[in-house]
C-alpha cells in the first residue's frame, strides 16, 4: 500500500485527477441514498452527512487506514456505525467500484496537496485570482458545482473567515439565500502578549481613501477594569469619519483585545457608528468601557481618558 507521505506533488496530482475521473464515472449512474465523502480524513464530512440524512448510506473513502479506523471509532461512539461504510483506496490497485452514488452531496478533500489551488486549476479548469482561486460572493468557482473556501481564495488567511465561507458555500449549494462577506470587516486577531486585534481601515488607509477622518484613543488605564485586571498600558483606537459618524476601523492592543474588537465589528455590521457605540451603556468595571470611551473621544465628548 502506497502512503501519501511517500508521494511527491506530481504523483499526488495524478492521484486526484484519477479520483475526479472516478467521481465523474460514478455520477453517470447517480442513485439517491448513497452519499460519498472522498478524502474523508478526520471524518467530519461523513459523520455530518450520516447525521443529516438518516436514510442514506454514507461511503467514506481515504487512502490512510489509520484515518478510517478513527472514523469508525467516532461513528460507533455516535451510534452511526451501521450508517457509515469506510473504504480504503489503494493507489496501486486503482479506485474501488462502489456502484452508483448520489453526488448531490459529495465532498472531496485536497488537503494532502502542496498546492490545492493548482489541482483545481489544472484538473477542473478553475480560474486563478493571482495565486489563489477566483470565486464569487457565494464561493462558487468558474467551474459549475465546484466551490472553494479558506486559504485557497482571496481574503485574510484566518480560520474564522474560512469557517463562514464554508457556511456560505453550503447554503448556496442547498439553494438557500446567503450573504457575501465584507472581507475588510473580518476581525483580525493576534494571540500574542499583549493581544493585538483590529478590523476595517487604519487611520492612514481611511485618509488615503478621502474620508474626513476622526480618531478616538483611550488607554486601558482610563477605565477601572484596566487596574482590576492588571493592564493599564493597553490602548483602544477608533477610526471614523465625520460626515455620517461611520465606524471605519478599530485597533486594540492589550489584554482581551481579541475579544473586545468584536463589539466594534458588530456595531458596523448592524450599521451603527461611533456615536451609537458612545451612547451604549457598558457594565462597570469592564474592559469594554474602554471601547465606549474611545468612541466618545471620536465623537468629541470623552469623559474618562
User: Using CA atoms, how far apart are residues 168 and 185, in angstroms rounded to an integer?
Assistant: 16
Residues across the chain? 305
Give the side-chain half-sphere CA count within 13 A for 272.
14
Within 10 A of 32 (CB to CB), how many other CB atoms are there?
14
Say if residues 239 and 200 touch (Cβ distance below 8 Å): yes
* Cα end-to-end span (Å), the chain: 67
Nearest to 226 by CA among 257, 251, 258: 257
Phi and psi angles of residue 106, each rounded to the nearest 5 degrees, phi first: -135, 145
In the three-class reduction of DSSP (H, G, I as helix; E, B as strand; rest coil), residue 217 is classed as: strand
Residues forming the active site:
284
The backbone torsions φ and ψ at residue 13, rounded to the nearest 5 degrees and listed phi first, read -60, -45
Please tell me the distance from the alpha carbon of residue 24 to that of residue 16, in angstroms, as a whole number. 12
How far is residue 249 from each of residues 62, 127, 144, 161, 262, measured CA to CA in Å?
44, 32, 36, 18, 12
Helix (H, G, I), strand (E, B) or coil at 110: coil
Which three cell numbers, joined as nine digits, stand for 135?
470565486
Calpha distance 19→25 (Å, rounded): 10
Contact between 71 and 60 under an 8 Å Cβ cutoff? The reply is yes
Amino acid at each position: 500500500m502506497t502512503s501519501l507521505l511517500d508521494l511527491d506533488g506530481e504523483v499526488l496530482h495524478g492521484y486526484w485527477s484519477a479520483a475526479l475521473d472516478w467521481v465523474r464515472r460514478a455520477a453517470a449512474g447517480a442513485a439517491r441514498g448513497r452519499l460519498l465523502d472522498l478524502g474523508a480524513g478526520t471524518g467530519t464530512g461523513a459523520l455530518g452527512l450520516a447525521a443529516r440524512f438518516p436514510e442514506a448510506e454514507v461511503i467514506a473513502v481515504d487512502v490512510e487506514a489509520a484515518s478510517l479506523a478513527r472514523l469508525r471509532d467516532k461513528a460507533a461512539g455516535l451510534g452511526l456505525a451501521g450508517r457509515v461504510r469506510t473504504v480504503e483506496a489503494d493507489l496501486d490497485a486503482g479506485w474501488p467500484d462502489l456502484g452508483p452514488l448520489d453526488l448531490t452531496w459529495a465532498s472531496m478533500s485536497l488537503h494532502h496537496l502542496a498546492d490545492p489551488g493548482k489541482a483545481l486549476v489544472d484538473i477542473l479548469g478553475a480560474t486563478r485570482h493571482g495565486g489563489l482561486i477566483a470565486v464569487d460572493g457565494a464561493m462558487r468557482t468558474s467551474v459549475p458545482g465546484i466551490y472553494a473556501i479558506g486559504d485557497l481564495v482571496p481574503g485574510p488567511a484566518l480560520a474564522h473567515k474560512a469557517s463562514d465561507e464554508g457556511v456560505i458555500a453550503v447554503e448556496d449549494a442547498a439553494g438557500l439565500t446567503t450573504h457575501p462577506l465584507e472581507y475588510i470587516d473580518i476581525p483580525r486577531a493576534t494571540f500574542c502578549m499583549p493581544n493585538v486585534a483590529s478590523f476595517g481601515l487604519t487611520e492612514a488607509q481611511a485618509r488615503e481613501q478621502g474620508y474626513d477622518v476622526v480618531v478616538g484613543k483611550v488607554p486601558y488605564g482610563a477605565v477601572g477594569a484596566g487596574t482590576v485586571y492588571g493592564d493599564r498600558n493597553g490602548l483602544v483606537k477608533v477610526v471614523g469619519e465625520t460626515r455620517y459618524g461611520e465606524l471605519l476601523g478599530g485597533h486594540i492592543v492589550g489584554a482581551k483585545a481579541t475579544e473586545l474588537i468584536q463589539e466594534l465589528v458588530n456595531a458596523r455590521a448592524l450599521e451603527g457608528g461611533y456615536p451609537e457605540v458612545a451612547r451604549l451603556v457598558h457594565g462597570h468595571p469592564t474592559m469594554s468601557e474602554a471601547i465606549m470611551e474611545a468612541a466618545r473621544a471620536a465623537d468629541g465628548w470623552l469623559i474618562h481618558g
